Chains A and B, each alone.
Chain A
Amino acid sequence: DVVMTQTPVSLSLAIGQPASISCKSSQSLLGTSGKTFLNWILQRPGQSPKRLIYQVSKLYSEVPDRFSGSGSETEFTLKISRVEAEDLGVYYCWQGTHFPQTFGGGTKLELK
């Protein structure tokens, strides 16, 4: 199974500060289709997960452009240019390339 390793486990940041979350996979997530199914989702407290980014770097239409995703093969990064209050919660990376699909352990973003 593909192991997804997310770091850090938690982040405590003030509003306006940048954030960076790393996600590393134990094998390449480049699929035979030529696509890399690496997604980022956010679970706010008490809510179900919400979509953020798909295929490494593609933002869903409702996601603010302060979010960005990058990476390839086995190393991926989610960045927030300036953290806002609504960004708090747990961020998960999720690979959909290989079955069984697997999630990172999550990164909890807290506000200082």
Chain B
Amino acid sequence: EVQLVESGGGLVQPGRSLKLSCLASGFTFSNYGMNWIRQAPGKGLEWVASISSSSSYIYYADTVKGRFTISRDNAKNTLYLQMTSLRSEDTALYYCARSTYYGDYWGQGVMVTVSS
């Protein structure tokens, strides 16, 4: 069974940093590109970043470019999102999703709240 479990969220002050993790199981993690997608409270979905299976290709939304870094450790079956210079508008539920082009499996999400 494919499982994606996000962690690392919480309440953080504006300007601070936070690192999210997504632990994958039930499939060969190193064969799949991965995504981070977020959803602000009561809002729709916003794609944040994608990374290819070998980390050769990485893409970011303009809203996070230069502040967020997506990475992965295929030996640990884990996807990461390092978030710096956080803003109030980054407050959202962050999902990891498998497969760069399809998003065929999603985690349950982890909440990030940016507030003083």
Residue positions of A touching B, CB distance < 8 A: 1, 37, 39, 41, 43, 48-51, 54-55, 60, 90, 92, 94, 96-97, 99-106
**In the complex, what residues of B have CB within 8 A of residue A50's CB?**
106
Q: How far is the CB of A45 from chain B (nearest CB, A)?
A: 12
Identify B101's interface contact among A37, A49, A51, A106, CB under 8 A: A37
Min CB gap B77→A, angstroms? 19
A-B pairs with beta carbons under 8 Å apart, 26 shown:
A37-B102, A39-B103, A41-B103, A43-B45, A48-B109, A49-B95, A49-B97, A50-B106, A51-B102, A51-B103, A51-B104, A51-B106, A55-B102, A60-B104, A90-B44, A92-B45, A94-B45, A94-B103, A96-B102, A101-B35, A101-B50, A101-B59, A103-B44, A103-B45, A106-B44, A106-B45
Cβ A105 vs Cβ B101 within 8 A: no
Name the residue on B nearest A96 (C-beta): B101
B: interface residue count bin = 20 to 34
* Distance between A10 CB and nearest chain B CB, rounded to angstroms: 13
Closest 4 pairs (CB-CB, A-B) = A96-B101, A101-B47, A99-B59, A37-B101
**Within the complex, what minimum Cβ distance (angstroms) separates A56 from chain B?**
12
Chain B 43-80 residues near chain A, CB threshold 8 A: 44-47, 50, 59-62
